[in-house]
């Protein structure tokens, strides 16, 4: 079930296009959120809230027969990730530092400073991405699907790519 819920979480917004093509109401995509409730493995520390939120939104969409809870899923995921990353800025280790220490347990102080900056950058990203996702909730459904099912993923990939290039450069000069 873990791989299935992970897959659903990644391609969830693309379901709009499938439902549109089949002529099904989009609120039925609430069914796809339900398996996420049992997804126990999370790559990010503190991300255990995703399952309950998915269950709540999926059930609300099905009970109310409304697209709104389904469309709010990306907004709440971004808000939750922002909360996790921002809270870690006040913890002894940021989320990014904890992930970096999985590969490099003896992270030097310069690495700690770098991971803090990366965590801050992700906070800015989740804020902007969440606000855009929120704006698309009130846009035509095709705009919502285009942004949340394609553009947001391209932006995440771009963010990872840029950070990877910067990290390589920083490590060469360390």
- Domain around 168: 2-172
**Over 70: is that where the pLDDT of 86 sits?**
yes
Residues 6+ apart with CB under 8 A from 54: 9, 33, 34, 36, 37, 39, 73
Query: How far is the C-alpha of 6 from the C-alpha of 117, rounded, in Å?
Result: 28
> Cβ-count burial of 164 within 10 angstroms (0-12 exposed, 13-18 middle, 19+ buried)?
exposed
* Max Cα distance, the chain (Å): 56
Length of the chain: 174
- pLDDT band (50, 70, 90) for residue 1: very low
> What pLDDT digit, counting tens, does each position of 107-165 carry?
899 889 999 999 999 999 999 999 999 999 999 888 988 898 889 989 999 999 999 89
CB atoms within 10 A of CB 14: 14
Range of weakest confidence among 49-58, 61-70, 97-106, 142-151:
49-58
**Over 70: is that where the pLDDT of 3 sits?**
no
Q: What is the DSSP secondary structure assignment for residue 23, as one 8-state letter?
A: T
Query: How far is the C-alpha of 139 from the C-alpha of 136, rounded, in Å?
Result: 5
Name the token pair of 80: 């939750």
Report phi then psi at 150, rounded to 5: -140, -60
The more confidently predicted of residues 84 and 19 is 84
Q: What is the mean pLDDT of the chain?
A: 84
> What pLDDT digit, counting tens, does each position of 18-35 carry?
777 787 887 877 787 777
Provide the H-helix boundaries in the chain.
Answer: 2-11, 15-22, 30-33, 50-64, 68-88, 95-103, 109-137, 141-146, 152-172
């Amino acid at each position: 079930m873990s791989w299935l819920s992970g897959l659903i979480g990644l391609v969830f917004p693309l379901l709009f296009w499938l439902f549109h093509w089949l002529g099904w109401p989009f609120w039925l995509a609430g069914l796809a959120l339900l398996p996420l409730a049992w997804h126990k493995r999370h790559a990010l520390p503190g991300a255990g809230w995703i399952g309950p939120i998915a269950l709540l939104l999926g059930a609300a969409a099905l009970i109310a027969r409304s697209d709104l809870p389904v469309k709010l899923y990306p907004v709440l995921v971004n808000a939750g990730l922002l909360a996790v990353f921002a809270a870690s800025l006040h913890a002894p280790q940021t989320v990014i530092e904890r992930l970096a220490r999985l590969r490099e347990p003896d992270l030097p102080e310069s690495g700690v400073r770098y991971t803090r900056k990366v965590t801050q950058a992700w906070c800015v990203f989740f804020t902007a991405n969440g606000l855009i996702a929120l704006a698309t909730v009130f846009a035509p459904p095709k705009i919502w699907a285009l942004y949340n099912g394609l553009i947001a993923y391209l932006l995440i990939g771009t963010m990872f790519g840029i950070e990877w290039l910067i990290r390589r450069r920083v490590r060469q000069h360390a």
